Structures are given as structure tokens and as C-alpha cells.
Amino acid sequence: YQSGYLQLYINRSRIYLDRGMPDQALKDLNFFLSKNPNTTAALVNRGVAYSMKREWDKALVDFQQAEQADSNNTALLSNRALVYFSQANSKAAIPDLQRYLKIPPEDHENINQLGLAYLYTGEANLALAEMNKAVALQPQQSAYYANRALVYRVLKNAAAEKADLLKAQALGHPIR
């Protein structure tokens, strides 16, 4: 098999993943990795496929192997952080999100995730700093205000919590 031909397996696996078809993606990725066992993109994609199937341990093995080849791969870092969140292990997600944010430092979604990780690990002041960054970068994102309101609740700042909940609601966030 020539490398260009094998690349088609990675490309098709991404399409399968985008369509929510992890089993089909795994078939392509397993074949590709049987020929090229240390290819970062294939390992990350297979980790994502396992994540979609809630096979967290298999996903983490692939992410660890991918990290050996490319420790600053943003897809690896953000997807592994999501696995840690799925396992209710926010503390483990923090280093990956911190490393990720050194590469594209203004990624508001991952800044928000880092803020949540800090909140879930009892670091409310660090959480607030990250949530403020996310809101500043994307002021029309209603979920960021709702998440920051959670931080204000922990910090016992009722006025700020209410203001953020009202802003989130005005932007269309479903407030219960």
C-alpha cells in the first residue's frame, strides 16, 4: 500500500466520526494503524472513536501513544481532556487544557472548559479568571454566562450570579 492510498483511510474515518459512526471509523483506523502504528492523526481519531463508544480506557491508551509522537497535538489534548471530564476526573483535564491553551491561547471553548475544570476541583477563583476570559472572547455565548454564574454562586456573589443568569437567558440559554 502506498502512503497516499492509506491516507484515504484516515480521511474516511474523519467523515465517519463527523457522522457519528465510530464503528466504521474504527475499521478504517485499525487497518491504517496495522500498516503505520505510530501515526498521530490515526491514533487521535481512534481515541475519538473509542470516546464516542464510551470506551474511555481504550481512548486514553491511544491518546497516550499519540502523545509520544506529538505532545503538543491540540486534537489530542482537547479530546483527552473531554475523556477525563466524561470520567468525572476534572483534575486530570486541567494540565491538558493548560497545555492546549498555550498553542491557540484564545480558544474560548477550551478556556471555558478549563474554567469548569477549576470549578469542579474547588478552585473557584481560577475558574472565575478563565470564565472572564471566555466571556470577553465570545460575549454572545450564553453558556459562558451560565457557567460563570455557577462560579459566582460558589463565591457567594448573588448579585453577579443573578446578572449572569439574566444575561444568559437574554442570549437564549435555557435557565431552569
Q: In angstroms, what CA-CA distances link 31 with 8, 55, 70, 121?
A: 11, 19, 21, 40
Give burial (CB, 10 Å; 0-12/13-18/19+) of 109.
Answer: middle
Which three three-digit cell numbers place residue 83? 475523556
Using CA atoms, how far apart are residues 156 and 81, in angstroms rounded to an integer? 28
Q: In the chain, helix, strand, coil percent, each to 5?
A: 75, 0, 25
Residue 155, CA distances (Å) to 120, 123, 150, 158 in order = 13, 10, 9, 9
Residue pLDDT, tens place only, 22-47: 999 999 999 999 999 989 999 999 99
pLDDT of residue 1: 52
Q: Residue 47 and residue 60: Cα distance in Å, rounded? A: 7
Give the pLDDT band of residue 3 (cuts 50, 70, 90). low
Q: 138-147: per-residue pLDDT in tens?
A: 999 999 999 9
Residue 171: predicted pLDDT: 94
In 3D space, the residue among 107, 112, 84, 109 whose CA is nearest the CA of residue 96 turns out to be 84
In angstroms, the CA 161 to CA 131 distance is 13
CA distances from 40 to 19, 37, 43 (A): 21, 9, 5
Residue 105: the pLDDT is 83
Over residues 59-73, mean pLDDT: 94
Please report which confidence band the pLDDT of residue 126 belongs to, taking 50, 70 and 90 as the band edges.
Answer: very high
Cα 165 to Cα 150: distance, rounded to the nearest angstrom: 9
pLDDT band at 7, cuts 50/70/90? confident
C-beta separation of 99 from 70 below 8 A? no
pLDDT of residue 27: 97
